[in-house]
């Protein structure tokens, strides 16, 4: 039976937090054997570590500052993230990047926080998990400065077009695909280009509790997305790419473990 790793879940500070044990158990029952809990600010990153310590081998985490929280970036933020990465649970720097769609933080602060986190990932020789929305040009310009020295880079929840896809692949980064691709309203363009992603650069994720696949039938009673739905997303993407689900799952699982430095 295929195994899956959900490379981006939002368990802390979300609607799933009160139900974490059930969420992890339900995921395991669907062969989602491991997942990465996102840290979107420093306090949440510490909470993610505390949570992961309760589920060794099942839950891992990132440590970083999301662009929504870039206005909280301070002179000691790099040092605090460096300290957080000493936990064996932390597999990557992030979630960091740029978000010009909502602009919850000033753009200059977003760029500063992003660049300094990439520099830290270079220093620590750690992979980086990134976020980009409506900020392709600035994001790419900053990424290019650090990419040659980064051991690995992942743009999670990719929803761009063919032009941005090609630009990111030129930087030899991994791309995370979510249930966005299952959305007949917003995901049509992504569905049309997902087959262009090379096998060895594709990862899959739920971004739980967000982006519940709209194509699911019957629709889940809850509107919350969960890691247990990752096999559905995998099947949907495999069909778009005209690949056998067992082969597709094996490749994306291996990619996930490779990116985060885990044994397959």
For the annotated binding site for a divalent metal cation, the residues are 95, 131, 156, 207
- Residue carrying structure tokens 């491991």: 34
Query: Do 206 and 5 contact (CB within 8 A), yes or no?
Result: no
The conformation of residue 219, written as its DSSP 8-state character, comes to: P
Q: What is the DSSP string of 8-65?
A: EE--TTSTTGGGHHHHHHHHHHTTEEEEEEPP-SHHHHHHHHHHHTTSTTTEEEEE--
Where does residue 93 rank: exposed (0-12), middle (13-18), buried (19+ CB within 10 A)? buried
Annotated binding-site residue numbers: 95, 131, 156, 207
The rounded distance, in Å, linking the Cα atoms of 6 and 235 is: 14
The H-or-E segment that residue 130 falls in is: strand 128-133
Contact between 28 and 1 (Cβ < 8 Å): no
């Amino acid at each position: 039976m295929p195994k899956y790793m959900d490379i981006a879940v939002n368990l802390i500070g979300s609607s799933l937090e009160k139900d974490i044990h059930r969420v992890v158990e339900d995921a395991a029952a669907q062969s989602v054997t491991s997942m990465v809990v996102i840290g979107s600010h420093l306090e949440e990153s510490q909470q993610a570590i505390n949570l992961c310590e309760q589920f060794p081998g099942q839950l891992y985490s990132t440590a970083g500052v999301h662009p929504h929280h870039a206005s909280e970036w301070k002179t000691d933020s790099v040092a605090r993230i460096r300290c957080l990465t000493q936990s064996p649970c932390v597999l990557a720097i992030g979630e960091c990047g740029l978000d010009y769609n909502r602009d919850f933080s000033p753009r200059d602060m977003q760029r500063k926080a992003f660049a300094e986190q990439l520099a830290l990932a270079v220093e620590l020789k750690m992979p980086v998990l990134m976020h980009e929305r409506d900020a392709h040009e600035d994001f790419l310009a900053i990424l290019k400065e650090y990419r040659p020295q980064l051991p690995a880079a992942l743009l999670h929840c990719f929803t761009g077009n063919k032009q941005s896809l090609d630009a990111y692949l030129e930087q030899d980064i991994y791309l995370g695909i979510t249930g966005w691709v299952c959305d007949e309203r917003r995901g049509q363009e992504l569905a049309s280009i997902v087959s262009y992603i090379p096998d060895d650069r594709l990862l899959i994720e739920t971004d739980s509790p967000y982006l519940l696949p709209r194509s699911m039938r019957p629709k889940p009673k809850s509107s919350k997305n969960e890691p247990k739905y990752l096999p559905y997303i995998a099947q949907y993407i495999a069909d778009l790419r005209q690949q056998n689900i067992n082969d597709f799952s094996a490749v994306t699982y291996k990619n996930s473990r490779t990116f985060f430095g885990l044994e397959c």
